Amino acid sequence: MKNLFIIILLCPLFAMSQIAEELDFIAPFNDGVAAVKKGTSWGFINHEGQLVIDFRDDLVASYVDGSRYPVFSDNRCLISTKRDGITYFGYIDKTGKTVIEPIFLNALNFNNNKALALHILKEELGDNDVLGKHVIGYKYFEVVLDVNGNITYYLNPKGVNFILDKAYLNSPPKVTSKHISENLFAVQSEHKKWHLVTTTMENGLK
């Protein structure tokens, strides 16, 4: 009975033990955790080497100092999923829970509790009498997200027209804006020029 009691007490410790198998890559620590790779899957360990997020295939690797691996920043890590052949992006927290649903056409890592993402807007364009079809259009907007996934700012209020079809989206459109300081962003125009936008200014969809 005593031995059984000891085994019960030790079970949680074994569940949180260090990874025994060989790994293909171990990333530097960032935000208190480090990404580890096994095959094509990624997980995260803590400073004791314990696997705190199990290996999974939806973590998004970012280029960091010449290497490519998932990172946590502001307690958020990028994930992606495919629907109808199109990739959508969202975020998990350090428990592995999805806290921002993968609904964005592209997204970047958080920085100072803000992240850049491509938000999709569906437009009802009316009916095409010749084809007998209801016409729908799509735009995406470069937006600023808070850590809860709320859109706090539209960096390009006019948006970009696109076709929501895997035949036209072989890869996610790029996020062209840059986060320069806490509330300052560099936004690229259609002429490849830059202008500065501060998120303390009013903005919105017109």
Report pLDDT for 21: 78
**pLDDT per position in the chain (206 positions), as tens?**
444 433 444 444 444 557 767 999 999 999 999 999 999 999 999 999 999 999 999 999 999 989 999 999 999 999 999 999 999 999 999 999 999 999 999 999 999 999 999 999 998 766 655 555 667 899 999 999 999 999 999 999 999 999 999 999 989 999 999 999 999 999 998 888 999 999 886 665 54
DSSP state of 149: S
Closest CA to 19 of 48, 39, 40, 41: 48
pLDDT value of position 11: 43
**Cα distance between the two ends of the chain:** 72
Give the model's pLDDT for residue 6: 38
In this prediction, residue 204 carries a pLDDT of 54
Name the strands in the sheet holding 184-188, side by side, starting at the edge strand that comes first in the sequence: 178-181, 184-188, 194-198
Q: What is the pLDDT of residue 53?
A: 97
Q: Is 69 exposed, middle or buried (0-12, 13-18, 19+ CB in 10 A)?
A: buried
C-alpha distance from residue 32 to each of 12, 47, 178 (Å) = 21, 7, 25
> Which residues pair with residue 135 across a beta bridge?
126
Domain ranges of the chain: 110-206
Quick one: tokens of 2?
Answer: 């005593």
What's the CA gap between 181 and 56, in Å, rounded?
33
HEC-encoded secondary structure of 75-129: CEEEEEEEECCEEEEEEECCCCCEEEEEEECCECCCECCEEEEEEEEEEEEEEEC
